[in-house]
Amino acid sequence: MDAPQRFALATQSLLAFTQDQHLLAALRNASAGHEVHALGSEVDLSSALMAHHAGVLVLDCAALATPATALAERLHGQFPDLVLIVAGRPDEQGALAAHISSGVVYRFLHKPFSEQRARLFVEAAWRRHDETIIAPRAAAARGRPRRRKSGRSWLWLLALAAVAAPLAWFALPTNPPPAPSAALPAPVNAAPADTALAQLLRRADQALAAGQLLTPPGDNAADLYREALQRDPHEQRALNGLEAVIDRLLADADAQLQQHHLDAAQQLVDAARALSPAHPHVAFLAAQIGAQREHAALAKPAPQPALKQADTRVTDFLSKARAALSSGALIEPVEDNARFYIESARELAADDPQVQQAMADLIARLEGEARKAIDAKNLDQAEIWTAAAADVGANPGQVAALREDAAQLRSSTQAEAMARLSQSFKERLEQGRIVEPATDSAKFYLGQLQQADAGGPATLQARSAYAARALLEAHTTLQAQDFAATRRWLDEARAAGSDAAALGTVAAALNAAQGEAQANDSYVNESTLTRTRYVAPQFPTAAQEKGINGWVDLQFLVGSDGAVSDVAVVGAQPVGIFEQAAQDAVRHWRYQAVVRDGQKVSQRARVRVRFAVQR
């Protein structure tokens, strides 16, 4: 039997490292078609993963002796194909934030949790596993060619770039583009060049880690991330942070819902809706809260009416239910909808044929609405209708069929969206629109792919193509002695996961070229250059109040595009007062590029920035 056949016969299991029986039961209920194995010892974890052919692993932080961050890294290194879910408290999510954003941890399940949420996470994990592991291997088993990561050096790849380009999944342009004429934006996951933005993001991250999601006003995670997005609407760190805030709010709302604290849950859902009105889980949780409110209202003890009075109330409830069914008010508004009225009638006369028929009619309508939502590709609404049908006693087989159809549609819809993003990425790369414009560049669409499915084949291929192109740009700018641009392109390639050996080759060439340039081209006085933009340094308030004067000597690099980089302090008097203000100002200066032999080149310069109190 050949390797593909052996793979096809292997049974993929879910392994749960937990001592929480409620969590284990929820995972088993959510894992139709997959075996679930519980494990209680970290020592046996690796062997159990192999013995049970595990495709999904759930780690419960409460059961771990090793920090979840370290264990997640070790597991990802040993089992890169494993889809990892971590369950724990909201504060434990903060420690794993980097692992979640990088894809090492696929999902974080907040405790306490609902079985519905656990089911959604497990189903999503198996979809991720099937899309990234099963599908590529199945394609290989059918004889389709598979790309292999080259182990050759970057220089060999560069020499063959013109030959390899037409064969690559993302073709590069025939001629290398000219060196960039404008400064590049910050690379993915790097600190923003905007100092104020970087400080905002740092404060926002700290507020998120401290659990300050909505308070205190103006200094909480939500407000700070939104302020950062006002500065840069496409700042990925801020977008991810705001999404994390919403997830925490909804997880807390889910926990309050499980404890039947409906007012608290409603407040959290409303807060999440204010941040993202179209968030898919907001509507679902709102519907669940409404359903629980109705259940609570129905559970309240009431005086037992006389038989005739009971008949009258049943008739009244059914009349209101028919009107609600006619108007389409199936499950909302709360306590004024068909579901509430029929369940109220059922509380009084469960065996009444008219009540049973009304419930059957409601179930049929709910299933019909779920089917319509699926046909309209409105998957979030389909889940709400399906959950409502299950809640009032719909046939489990019908509910399972609806959920299976929704899952298949979700998978195909995601595939279509990924295909569109991949095509846009490819086109921008071929057009040389690598980082600009900010919202319509190859880098932008790569970010969209990573946000949609960080570990998917299309995203990995795009990252590889982007890294290769960034290395090619680094080589081009290095040849033009635009060392600042070379470093930025190297940062882009590194953030995209470029091969370490290739990065090292270009970095070594850059260091050598810089050394040679410094030996042959000493620093010039800034006054010999033509400055086109000046930003005055901000006098430190404390120094101004005390009447302190001083100066700062700086060295910096003017790139071939006239931008300033590599600003370094080489002297200051007094020390520790004016350095930061001087650097912040000089970074925003611009110059006419230095031209030698008809080529724009970089030039190192020095300047003394003086600070004097105006009397």
Kindly state whether residues 534 and 446 are assigned to the same domain: no
CA 259/CA 581 separation, integer angstroms = 53
Q: Please check whether residue 506 is in contact with residue 154, taking contact to mean a CB–CB distance below 8 angstroms.
A: yes
Q: What pLDDT is recorded for position 361? A: 93
Q: Examine the domain organization and report whether 516 and 536 are in the same domain.
A: no
Instruction: Looking at the structure, tell me whether residues 120 and 214 fall in a common domain.
Output: no
Residue 516 has pLDDT above 80, yes or no: no
> Up-side HSE of residue 327: CA atoms within 13 Å toward CB?
14
Contact 555, 524 (CB under 8 A): no
Distance CA 316, CA 336 (A): 13
Burial of 519 (0-12, 13-18, 19+ CB in 10 A): exposed
Nearest partner of 23 among 121, 128, 125, 127, judged by Cα: 121
Is 276 contained in some domain?
yes
DSSP 571: E
**Neighbour-count burial for 260-298, b at 16+ CB within 10 Å, e otherwise:** eebeebbbbbebbbebbeebebbbbbbbbbbbbbbeeee
103 within domain boundaries = yes
Q: Which residue has the higher pLDDT, 457 or 294?
A: 457
Asked whether the beta carbons of 88 and 108 are under 8 A apart, the reply is yes
Tokens of 24: 């284990």
Residue 26: CB partners within 8 Å, gap ≥ 6?
A: 113, 115, 118, 119
The Cα–Cα gap between 81 and 317 comes to 55
Residue 557 falls inside a structural domain: yes
**Beta strands per DSSP E along 158-280:** none
Q: Kindly report which listed range (200-204, 258-262, 292-296, 486-490) carries the lowest average pLDDT score.
A: 292-296
How many CA atoms lie within 13 Å of 61's alpha carbon, on the beta-carbon side? 21
Q: Let me know whether 379 and 312 are in one domain.
A: yes
**Six-digit token pair at 540?**
């430190």
pLDDT at 615: 64
* Domain boundary, last residue among 294, 314, 334: 294
- Asked if residues 554 and 568 have their Cβ atoms less than 8 Å apart, the reply is yes
Can you list the positions of beta strands (E) in 450-541? 524-525, 531-533
Q: Do 316 and 278 sit in the same domain of this protein?
A: no
Instruction: Note whether 384 and 428 are same-domain residues.
Output: no
Closest by Cα among 123, 135, 108, 125 to 32: 123
* 3-state DSSP assignment of residue 86: strand
Tokens at 591, concatenated? 């110059």
pLDDT of residue 533: 94
Q: What does pLDDT average to over the chain?
A: 79
The yes-or-no verdict on residue 378 having pLDDT over 70 is: yes
| CA–CA distance, 314 with 235 (Å, rounded to integer) | 57
- In terms of Cα–Cα distance, which of 233, 271, 276 is closest to 253? 271
- Asked which of 232-241, 323-332, 579-588 is least confident by mean pLDDT, the reply is 232-241
Say whether both 331 and 381 belong to one domain: yes
pLDDT by residue (tens digit) across 8-36?
A: 334 678 999 888 888 888 888 887 778 89
Q: Which two tokens stand for residue 255?
A: 């926990």
Number of domains in the chain: 5
Please name the residues in contact with 15: beta carbons below 8 A apart, sequence gap of 6 or more: 36, 37, 39, 48, 49, 52, 54, 56, 57, 58
- Identify whether 152 is part of a domain: no
First and final CA of the chain: distance in angstroms?
A: 90
Please report whether residue 173 resides in a domain. no
Q: Indicate whether 29 and 79 sit together in one domain.
A: yes
Kindly tell me if the per-residue pLDDT of 211 is higher than 50. Answer: yes
Q: Within a domain: residue 149?
A: no
If asked whether residues 574 and 550 sit together in one domain, one would say: yes
Q: Categorize the per-residue pLDDT at 590 as very low, low, confident or very high, splitting at 50, 70 and 90.
A: very high
Domain limits at 39? Answer: 3-141
Predicted pLDDT at 584:
94
CATH of the domain at 8: 3.40.50.2300
C-alpha–C-alpha distance, residues 582 and 291, integer Å: 61
Q: pLDDT tens digit string along 105-164?
A: 888 888 777 777 788 788 878 877 777 665 555 555 555 444 333 333 333 333 333 323
Q: Does the pLDDT value for residue 286 go beyond 70?
A: yes
Do 134 and 41 share a structural domain?
yes
Paired tokens of 129: 């596993």
- CATH number, position 576: 3.30.2420.10
pLDDT band at 394 (very low <50, low <70, confident <90, very high): very high
pLDDT of residue 167: 28
For residue 151, being part of any structural domain is answered with no
- pLDDT of amino acid 301: 62
Among 510, 506, 502, residue whose Cα is nearest residue 152: 502
Give a yes or no: residue 402 inside a domain. Answer: no
Distance CA 467, CA 546 (A): 51
Q: Which of 489, 520, 551 is the last residue of a domain?
A: 520
Considering the domain architecture, whether residues 603 and 479 belong to the same structural domain is answered as: no
Lowest mean pLDDT among 78-87, 90-99, 343-352: 90-99
On whether both 446 and 547 belong to a single domain, the answer is no
d(CA 277, CA 355): 37
Tokens of 401: 């069929």
Model confidence, pTM: 0.43
DSSP 3-state assignment of 555?
strand
